[in-house]
Amino acid sequence: MSEKKDIPEDMFLAPENRKHTVTGPDGEVIHVDPLNDYFCQDLPKVEAPYKGVLEKFLNWARAESLWVLAYGTGCGSIELPPLFSPRFDAYRFGVMMRPTPRQSGVLIISGYLAVKTLKRAIRSYEQMQNPKYVIALGSCTINGGMYFDSYNTINRLDHYLPVDVYIAGCMPRPEAILAGFNKLKERIKSGNAEGANHYAENLEWYKANQKKIIKDWNMPTYNW
C-alpha cells in the first residue's frame, strides 16, 4: 500500500524519543535509546483473583465504586457530563470521574475512535490498574457506526481492547449509560469482568491488531 518502501524505522518517532547520543559534562558520550531506557518494558501478568467470599466482597466493593476515567474519546462524551448533572446524579451509584488513568477502573470509550485517539485510549487503558473495565458506547464501537467507511476510525473495539459492556445508541442517553453501569456492576459481582487478565493473556493478538493500525508505534509494547 505504501508508496515509499524505505521508511526509516523511527520515522514517526518524536525527536526526543529517537536513539541519540548525549555528551556529558565530563565529555563522556552516552547512547540513549529512550524507548528502552526510559520506559518499563515489562509485560502485564495475569493477576489471579482471590477465592471465595473475600473475592466476592472485593468484587462488591469494586462494583459499587466505579471510578471512570474522564476521557471523552468521541461524541458520546457529550452525554457524560449530564450523567453527573443534578438530574441523573451518577455519584449516588458509586460512579465518579477521575482525571488520571492510574486511579480509574473504568474506561468509557464514548463512541468512535479515531486512530490517533485509539493510541491514547490504549495507553490510558494500559496505565489503569488491574482490575479494569471498558464500557463501549454507541454503534461506532460495535461495528463502525456512522463512520464505518471512514479512513480514520476503527470499526470494532473488541479487536483492540477487551470490552465488558456495550450500550446501544447514537449516542446512548444518560439513562442508558446508567443501565450500562448496572450491567457492568452485575458483571463484576458475578466475577466475569476479568478484562484485564484477558488482555494480559491475549496480549499478542491485541498488540498485533493495534500495531496494524497505529503505524507510528512510538511507545513500548505495553505502557505501564
Partner 1 sequence: MSNTIFDWKKDRSMFPEPDKDGKPVVELDSQKYIKVWQGPNHPGVTGNMALELTISGDEVMEAKTHVGYLHRGFEKLFERRRYMQCFPTSIRMCVPEPDINEYNLSRGTELLSGIEVPEMAGWLRMIALEMARLQVLLRTVPGQGGTIGLGLPAQWGLYYRELILDRFEELTGGRIYHMYILPGGVRGLLPDGFKKRLEDNLVKIEAFMKEVDRVVYSNAVFKKRTKGIGVVPPEWIDQYGATGPVARAAGYKRDVRKDYPYLYYDRLDFDYNVEHESDVFARFHVRRKDVDTTIDLLRQIMAKMPEKGELRAETPNVLHWKIPRGETLVRCESSRGEYLFYMVADGSIYPRRINLRGPSYTHGVVLLEKLLVNANISDVSSIMVSLATCPPEIER
Partner 2 sequence: MSLFERILFVLAGLFIVLNWGLIMTGIIRKIIARVGMRRGIKVYQPYINLVKNFSIRSQLSHGVMFYLGPVFRLSGGVGIFLFMPMIYGSEYWTNFSFTGDLILISYFMFFGMLGMALGAGEGGHPYSAIGVSRGLAQFTAIELPLTLAILSIAIQYHTISLTEIVAAQQGGIRNWTLVTNPLATAAAMLSFLGAMGHSPFNVVMAPQENPIGPPTEYHGTFLGVLQTNRAILHVVEAVLYMNLFFGGATNWGTLILKTFLIYFWSVFVGMVFPRFRVDQSIPWLLKIPLAIGILAIIIFMI
Partner 3 sequence: MNEIIEHIKKRFPVYEIGEGPNGVILMSVEASRLVPMLTSLKTNHGYSILVILSTVDWLEDCKFQLTYIVNNPEEKRDLGIRVFIQREDAEMESIHTLWEHAATFQREIKEMFGINFPGSPGVDDQFLLEGWDNKPPMRRDFDTKKYAEETFFPRPGRETNDPAAYMKQKLYPDE
Applying CB under 8 A, the residues found at the interface with partner 1 are 16, 69-75, 77-79, 81-82, 84-87, 97, 99, 101, 112, 114, 116-117, 120, 124, 146-147, 149-153, 170-171, 173
Through-space distance between the first and last CA atoms of the chain, rounded to whole angstroms: 32
Written as nine digits, the cell of 213 is: 493500525
CB of 99 to partner 2, least distance (A): 3
Instruction: Report in angstroms how near the CB of residue 71 gets to partner 3 at its nearest.
Output: 17
* Selection from 149, 145, 187 nearest residue 170 by Cα: 145
Window of 58-66, 142-150, 169-177, 207-215 that interacts with partner 2 by CB under 8 A: 58-66
Instruction: For residue 130, state whether it binds partner 2 (rule: CB under 8 A).
Output: yes
Integer Cα distance of 90 and 209 in angstroms = 34
Residue 7's binding partner out of partner 1, partner 2, partner 3, none, with CB under 5 to 8 Å set by partner kind: partner 3
Cα(127)–Cα(114) distance, integer angstroms: 20
Cβ burial, residue 76 (10 Å; 0-12/13-18/19+) = buried
CA distance 157 to 123: 14
CA–CA separation, 174 and 194 (whole Å):
25
Cβ closer to partner 1: 71 or 194? 71
Length of the chain: 224
Segment 87 to 126, residues that bind partner 2, using CB under 8 A: 89, 91-92, 94, 98-100, 102-103, 105
Question: Of residues 116, 182, 204, 205, which one binds partner 3 by CB under 8 A?
Answer: 116
CA gap 15, 23 in Å, rounded: 17
Q: Which of 34, 39, 114, 129 binds partner 2 (CB under 8 A)?
A: 129
Applying CB under 8 A, the residues found at the interface with partner 2 are 44-45, 47, 49, 57-58, 61-62, 64-65, 67, 86, 89, 91-92, 94, 98-100, 102-103, 105, 129-131, 196, 224
